[in-house]
Amino acid sequence: MSGASARPGQPGEDATPPEPLLRELEALAARYPTRRGGLLLMLHRLQEWRGWIAPADMRRCGTLTGISAAEVFSVVSFYTMFRTRPGARFPIGICRNIACFVQGSEHVTRALSEKLGCEPGGMTADGRFSLQEVECLGSCGSGPCLEIDSRYFENVDAGKAGRIVDALARSDGDATDAIEHAAKAAR
C-alpha cells in the first residue's frame, strides 16, 4: 500500500485547504454543543478534499477542536472509513458478510482480484484501484453489493463487476463523477 501518490488532481501532502473549506471546518466545529462534536464531519470533509487524512489535517482538526493531534489520531484510527495514507483513485469495497456471501460475493471478489491483478487488501500498481473486503453495507436484499467511495453498486456478479472496472479504467476526469457515471452505466 505504501509509496502511492495522491490521486491525480488531488492536493499533495503539504497542500493547505482552500479558504472556503477552512470556513466550512470552522462552521462544523461551531455546529455542535462542543467543538469536538464536529470532528468526524471535519475529517470526512478533509478526506474528500485531499483523498486521505494527512498529519497536517489532524493537527488542524486538533487546533480547531481544542484537543491534541495525538488524540485526533486515536479517533481517526478507530474508524475504518478514514485513510491515513493516500489511497487508490477508485477504492473498491466488496461486502463479504452473510447475505452477500450466500449470493456468491466470493466469486465476485475472485473475479475482481484476477482482473485487477491485486489481492483483496491491495492496490493496483498504477494506484487506480484498490480492492478491500468490507462488512455488511446495508444492501443485503440486493447482494452481492460493492461500494466505491460510498456509492453503491448492487446485484453485482462477475460480469457486472468487470464492466464497472472497465468504465472506471477509461475515465480521466473527476473521480466522483466517474463513479456516478459507472453506477448509472452498470444499472
Partner 1 sequence: MANYLSLEFARSGPMLLAEARGKGRWATAERVLKTMKPEQVVDEVKNAGLRGRGGAWFPAGIKWSFMPKEPKGPSYLVINADEGEPGTFKDRQIMEKDPHLLLEGIAIACFAMRAETCFVYVRGEYLSSLVALETAIAECEQAGLLGDDALGTGRRVRVLAHRGAGAYICGEETALLNSLEGRRGEPRAKPPFPAVYGAFGRPTTVNNVETIANVPFILERGVPWFRSMGTQGAPGNILYGVSGAVENPGIYEGPLGMSARDVIEKFAGGVKAGKKMRAFIPGGASTGFLPPGKLDVVMDPDALKKEGTMLGTGGIVVIPEEVELLDALRVLSRFFRHETCGQCAPCREGAAWSDQIVGRFQRGEGSGDDFALLNDIMRGSKQRTICVFPEAFAGPLGSALVHFKGDFERNIGPASPVAPQGATSRG
Site residues (vs ligand FES, CB under 6 A): 95, 97-100, 136-140, 143, 145
Q: How many residues bind partner 1 (CB under 8 A)?
A: 41
Report the C-alpha gap between 67 and 73 in whole angstroms.
Answer: 10
Report the C-alpha gap between 111 and 107 in whole angstroms.
Answer: 6
Q: Taking the complex as a whole, how short is the minimal distance between the CB of residue 105 and ligand FES, in angstroms?
A: 7
Question: Residue 44, interface with partner 1 (CB under 8 A)?
Answer: yes
37 vs 122, beta carbon nearer partner 1? 37
Q: Taking the complex as a whole, how short is the minimal distance between the CB of residue 151 and ligand FES, in angstroms?
A: 14
62 vs 127, beta carbon nearer partner 1? 62
Q: How many CB atoms are located within 10 Å of the residue 57 CB?
A: 24
Binding to partner 1 in span 69-128, by CB under 8 A:
74-75, 77-82, 96-99, 101-103
User: What is the per-residue binding string for partner 1 in 130-159, x denoting contact by CB under 8 A?
Assistant: -----xxxxxxxxx---x--xxx-------
Question: Residue 21, interface with partner 1 (CB under 8 A)?
Answer: no
Three cell numbers at 89? 483513485
Three cell numbers at 20? 472556503
56 vs 140, beta carbon nearer ligand FES? 140
Binding to partner 1 in span 24-43, by CB under 8 A:
31-34, 36-41, 43
CB 42 within 8 A of CB 64: yes
Report the C-alpha gap between 45 and 47 in whole angstroms.
Answer: 5
Q: Taking the complex as a whole, how short is the minimal distance between the CB of residue 145 and ligand FES, in angstroms?
A: 4
**Where does this chain bind partner 1 (CB under 8 A)?**
31-34, 36-41, 43-44, 65, 74-75, 77-82, 96-99, 101-103, 135-143, 147, 150-152
